[in-house]
Structure 1
C-alpha cells in the first residue's frame, strides 16, 4: 500500500499553514477525547467571526497559496464511479446524538473534488476540527481511497433532515460541495440550481476563477425553528472572504448571508450573490428532433424587481455564442433565476424538472449602483450549467478593495414577493410571421407571449388590454391580443422584421389606461439561431 511520505506530509501541512488555514495555536496533531461518538476531533480552540474576517483580510495581503491535495496521485484516481461508492456512515454524523437538530455528513475527496476542505464543529465559541479517517466511510475493501492519510480533509458537507423524521438518514436539504458552490432544496423537495460564494471573471477576457471555501465552522440548530449557523473562509487567486450563513429549514430553505470580501488583485467582473443554473431548451427554442422531451431546464427565466419597483421577466436563451446582458439598477429589491413552468407534462422526465427550486436574492441593505448581469453560454446537453446571474457593482474591483454584503436567499418554487396586481408571462413562443392562409413573409418572425393572472379576470366583457412593445432594432408589426378559449390566459402577439444577424432586444407589457396590467416581458432574439430553429 502506497503511503504519503513524510516530505509530502510536511509539504501539505506547510501549504495549509501558509494559507492561514490553521487556527492560531492549533496543531492538527493535537487530539482530545472525542465527544461525538465515533469521531476523532482536534483540540478545542476559540472562534470568533471577527477573527475570521481579520484572517481573510490578512490573507489578501499575501501571495496566494493554492490548496494541495494530501496525495494527488491517489485523489486523482478516485473517479466518478469510485467516488459514488464512498458513503459517509450515518452513525458518525455530528449532532445525530441529539446535540443538534440537523445531523451533518461529509463528502469524500475525489478526482472532481480534489481540494481538501477542513471541517470544524462549533459550540459556545469553541471550534474543534473533524479529523478525516477512512473509517468514517463505507467503502469497498479494495478502494484506492483507503490509501489516503488521516486528516486529508473532506470535499464538502450536507445537512440532513431533523432527527425526528424517520427518513433523516436518506434525506438532506442543503449541501456545500466544490469551490464555493452550495445548494438547497425548495418547497417541492428537490435540488436544482446552485449558488456560489463569489463569481470572478465569468465570461470575460480573463480566465474565470473559482475560489474555494477552505474551512467551514458548523454550529448546530438547537431546535427546528433555529438556524444552522455556518462560517466559511474563502480563498482564491484574486480574492479572499469571510462568510456567515444562517440556514433555516422551513417552507423550502432560507439562507441569510453576510460576507466580507478582500480583493487580492484586480478583477474584471466581480459577481455578488451569484446563481448558476442550466437551460437547454423550452417551448420557444426547441428544434425539430432536438430531443424527445418537450423541455429541459433547471430555470426558464431571470426575474427582476428593480429599485424603482418595476417587475421584469427575461426569458432565458441557449445562444450560439456566449452572451452577457446587463440590467442597470440602483438599490435593487431582488432578482432570481426562476423555474416558472411547473407542469409535469411539459417535461415528461424522471428527474423532476417541474419540481426544481427557484432561487431569489433579496438584498438586506442598499447595494447602490450596479447591474444584475445575466450570462448565457451555449450548451448541447443538460449536464452543463450554462446560465449565471449576479450583481456587479459599478466601481471597478481593484486590488486592495474590500466589500461587505448582506442578502437573503429564498429556495422555493415561486417568487417570495408576488404581485397580485400584475399578470405574469408564462410562455414565449416563436414562429413564422404573417397570418394563416396568407403568403407568409420569410423575413419576419412572430412572437406569442402568454400572460396569466387574476388581474386579467377583472377586465369587462369585450375589454382588451393594450400592448406596449418596443425593439432595439427592426420593425414591429401585426400586434394582437386575445384571450385563449377555455383558459384564463391572454396571448399577446406581434411580428418582428429585423435584417441581419445581430441580437434584437425586445420589451413588452400590457396596460389598461395608464396602469400596467403585467410585468415587463423581455427577450433577446438571436436571428441566426432563430432561423435554424425554424428551418
Structure 2
C-alpha cells in the first residue's frame, strides 16, 4: 500500500503568481454583440530535507521588476511577414515535425523586450486594449472570437500567431494599429515593434450575444480557462521542469500558435502550439469546448534537447493564502478566507477519493500523494458563497475548479504537491503535477494526452460523501489540537453502523466522535490530536462500513509552525 511522503525544505524556494494577480476579477474581456468595443492514502513518511537551497524563480514574481540593461527594439524578422500558404493539411503531425527539427537546433531566446515596455506596471499594461472585438476572423456566424495581447510588463516572450482557414495557413502579423495604447509611456518605435505575447478565446458562455473570455494563453506555457459564471483563478502550464528543485526551475514557453477558424456549426475551437526552451521542445493540440463547464482536450509530444530531471506533466498552479482550516489563523484580515483553490482532490487508481486541504506553510513543502497514475486530480474551490470570503472585488467564490483526467499510460511516477510560503494573495504558491520516475534523455520522444475541465465543480462526481468544511484549532481549555470535519446533505441512515478510521503519523488521536447536526442533514466528525512533543503529524480520516468507504479520505498536515 502506497504511503504519501513529504519533504520540508527550510527556505523560501519561490513566489508564484498566475498570469495576473488573484484579485483580478475584471480581467476577462467580455464583448457584447450589441455594442462591440475595440487505501492508497495513509499517513506520510518523512523524507530528509534537501541539502541545498532551491534557486528562486522569476516568472512568478509579481514584484515590480527593475529594468534590465538597455535593449534596442528589433523589428519583426522577415519570416514574421510571410504570406499565406496553401497546404493539403495542417495539424498536430506538422507541429510535431517542427518541434522535432527545432530540438536538433541550438536554443534561441526570444528577442529582448524594450525597456519602456518592461517598465510598465501591471495596471498600466492592462490599459492596452484591442481596437477590434475580433482579431482572428470577421465572420459573425462563428461561435467564438479571438484576441491577441501585445508584449509588456512581465510578458516578455514573443509568440507568432497563425490563422488556419480551411487549407490556408496565414501568419497574423503584429501591427501597433490593432491596439489602443492610450497615453502610456511607450515610444513610437516600441509600439511598432512589440510583437505578440499571447492570445485569448471568447465565447457566449454566460449570455447569448455576449462574448466572454473562456481561455487565455500568456506567459511562458501558462494557460487558464473559465466556465460559465467563473472568474480567473487557477492556472495550468504545458510543462514544468525542476519545480521546487535545488537547481532552479526552467520555464518552457509557447513560441508559436495556430488557431483554426471554426466552422459556423462547430461548438469547439482547435488551437495548436509550438513549445521551446533550452532543454525541450514540444507540440501541442488543444481542442476547446466552451460552456457551463469548459473542456480542453490536450495532446502533447515532447522532444528533449538534453537530459532532463524533474519533469512535471500537466502542472496546475494556484494561490492559497488562508482559510478556517488553518491551524494558525490570519488575525488581521477582515475576510474569513482568501484563496483561488482550497484543496487538492484525487481519484486514485483504485477508485479511492482523497481530499487534501491546501496550506500556506512556513517553509517550502513538497508532498508525494500518489505512487500510481491517478484516474483524475484537480484543484478545487468548494466554498461557493460570497460570505465564505466577503470580498466584493476579488470574488473568490467564483474561482473555477480545474480537473485533469489522464489518458493512456503516463508511465511510473508520482503525483506531487508543492506548497510555498506566501505573505499575500498576489503570488501563486501552489503547484501539483505528475512527475515521471525517470528523467528524459536527449533525442527521446514523450507523448501524453489528458482532458481538463474548468468551471464550478467540473470534475468527476465522487460516489462517497465529500468533506464540505475543515476546521482546526486548539481545544478550548486544553493543549490538544482539535479538528472538525463537516459533511453536508447526508441521506438518512447513510452513516448507520459506520466506523471512524482516524490515524496520525505522530502523537495520538483522542475522542473521535461523529454527530448529526440537530437541525439539518449535516454530520460532523471531530477528534483531537495530542502531538506528544512532535512538531509535525500527517493525519488521515475516513468513515467506513466494513471494507467500503462512505466518505472521501481526508488528509491533513499539522505542524507547530
Does residue 61 of the first structure (1) align with residue 109 of the second (2)? no
Match of 1:93 among 118, 135, 158: 135
Q: Aligned equivalents of 1:371 and 1:467: distance in 2?
A: 28
Equivalent residue, structure 2, for 1:240:
281
In the superposition, the TM-score normalised over structure 1's length comes to 0.85
Match of 2:488 among 418, 441, 452: 452
Equivalent residue, structure 2, for 1:34:
none
Kept after mapping to 1: 8 A contact 2:127/2:181: yes
Q: Would the alpha carbon gap of residues 337 and 59 (structure 1) be closer, same or farther in structure 2, given more than 3 Å must change?
A: same
Q: Aligned equivalents of 1:87 and 1:236: distance in 2?
A: 29
Aligned-pair CA distance for 1:396:
2.2
Aligned-pair CA distance for 1:82:
3.0
Match of 1:416 among 438, 441, 459: 459
Q: Would the alpha carbon gap of residues 183 and 145 (structure 1) be closer, same or farther in structure 2, given more than 3 Å must change?
A: farther
Equivalent residue, structure 2, for 1:525:
558
How do 1:429-440 and structure 2 match up within 5 A? Answer: 429-433=471-475, 440=478
Aligned-pair CA distance for 1:223:
3.6
Q: Aligned equivalents of 1:504 and 1:125: distance in 2?
A: 60
Match of 1:337 among 364, 379, 387: 379
Match of 1:56, SS state, is: helix
Equivalent residue, structure 2, for 1:77:
119
Q: Aligned equivalents of 1:29 and 1:415: distance in 2?
A: 41
Question: Which one scores higher on RCO, CA 8 angstroms, separation ≥ 6?
Answer: 2
How do 1:269-288 and structure 2 match up within 5 A? Answer: 269-285=310-326, 287=329
Equivalent residue, structure 1, for 2:438:
395
Aligned-pair CA distance for 1:500:
4.6
Aligned-pair CA distance for 1:114:
1.4
Match of 1:28, SS state, is: helix
Equivalent residue, structure 2, for 1:207:
248
Aligned-pair CA distance for 1:502:
4.3
Q: Would the alpha carbon gap of residues 59 and 187 (structure 1) be closer, same or farther in structure 2, given more than 3 Å must change?
A: same
Q: Would the alpha carbon gap of residues 512 and 353 (structure 1) be closer, same or farther in structure 2, given more than 3 Å must change?
A: same
Q: Aligned equivalents of 2:455 and 2:411: distance in 1?
A: 27
What are the superposed Cα offsets for residues 30-80 of structure 1, whole Å, 9 maximum, x if unpaired?
4xxxxxxxxxxx3325444222212212222332211113x5234323333
Equivalent residue, structure 2, for 1:16:
none
Equivalent residue, structure 2, for 1:352:
395
What are the superposed Cα offsets for residues 485-519 of structure 1, whole Å, 9 maximum, x if unpaired?
21222111111122455431111100123321101
Q: Aligned equivalents of 2:111 and 2:492: distance in 1?
A: 61
Kept after mapping to 2: 8 A contact 1:362/1:407: yes
Aligned-pair CA distance for 1:475:
1.3
Aligned-pair CA distance for 1:237:
1.7
Equivalent residue, structure 2, for 1:382:
425
Q: Aligned equivalents of 1:144 and 1:152: distance in 2?
A: 10
Q: Aligned equivalents of 1:162 and 1:483: distance in 2?
A: 43
Kept after mapping to 2: 8 A contact 1:428/1:447: yes
Which structure is larger by alpha-carbon Rg, 1 or 2? 1
Aligned-pair CA distance for 1:345:
1.1
Kept after mapping to 1: 8 A contact 2:74/2:193: no
Q: Aligned equivalents of 1:75 and 1:123: distance in 2?
A: 33
Kept after mapping to 2: 8 A contact 1:300/1:340: yes
Does residue 372 of the first structure (1) align with residue 415 of the second (2)? yes
Equivalent residue, structure 1, for 2:36:
none
Kept after mapping to 1: 8 A contact 2:204/2:210: no
Between the two proteins, the alignment pairs up a number of residues equal to 487
What are the superposed Cα offsets for residues 310-330 of structure 1, whole Å, 9 maximum, x if unpaired?
110011111001111112333
295-304 or 323-332, which deviates more? 323-332
Kept after mapping to 2: 8 A contact 1:504/1:525: yes
Q: Aligned equivalents of 1:402 and 1:503: distance in 2?
A: 41
Kept after mapping to 2: 8 A contact 1:465/1:481: no
Match of 2:140, SS state, is: coil
Q: Aligned equivalents of 1:145 and 1:174: distance in 2?
A: 30
Equivalent residue, structure 2, for 1:17:
none
Q: Aligned equivalents of 2:148 and 2:272: distance in 1?
A: 16
Kept after mapping to 2: 8 A contact 1:306/1:329: no
How do 1:176-215 and structure 2 match up within 5 A? Answer: 176-215=217-256
Q: Aligned equivalents of 1:145 and 1:489: distance in 2?
A: 62
Aligned-pair CA distance for 1:220:
2.3
Kept after mapping to 2: 8 A contact 1:162/1:224: no
Gaps of 5+ in 2: 1-71
Q: Aligned equivalents of 2:101 and 2:95: distance in 1?
A: 10
Equivalent residue, structure 1, for 2:84:
43
Match of 1:506 among 514, 529, 539: 539
Match of 2:523 among 490, 513, 526: 490
Kept after mapping to 1: 8 A contact 2:96/2:282: yes
50-59 or 384-393, which deviates more? 50-59
Q: Aligned equivalents of 1:155 and 1:520: distance in 2?
A: 42
385-394 or 499-508, which deviates more? 499-508
Gaps of 5+ in 1: 1-6, 14-25, 31-41, 530-535
Q: Aligned equivalents of 1:128 and 1:145: distance in 2?
A: 29
- Aligned-residue RMSD, C-alpha: 2.5
Aligned-pair CA distance for 1:151:
5.9
Does residue 230 of the first structure (1) align with residue 265 of the second (2)? no
What are the superposed Cα offsets for residues 95-136 of structure 1, whole Å, 9 maximum, x if unpaired?
243363211111111021112111111122432111111110
Kept after mapping to 2: 8 A contact 1:276/1:388: yes
Equivalent residue, structure 1, for 2:47:
none
What are the superposed Cα offsets for residues 364-407 of structure 1, whole Å, 9 maximum, x if unpaired?
22223222111100111111100011111222233333210010
Give the ranges of 4+ consecutive aligned residues of structure 1 lying more than 6 Å apart after TM superposition.
Answer: none
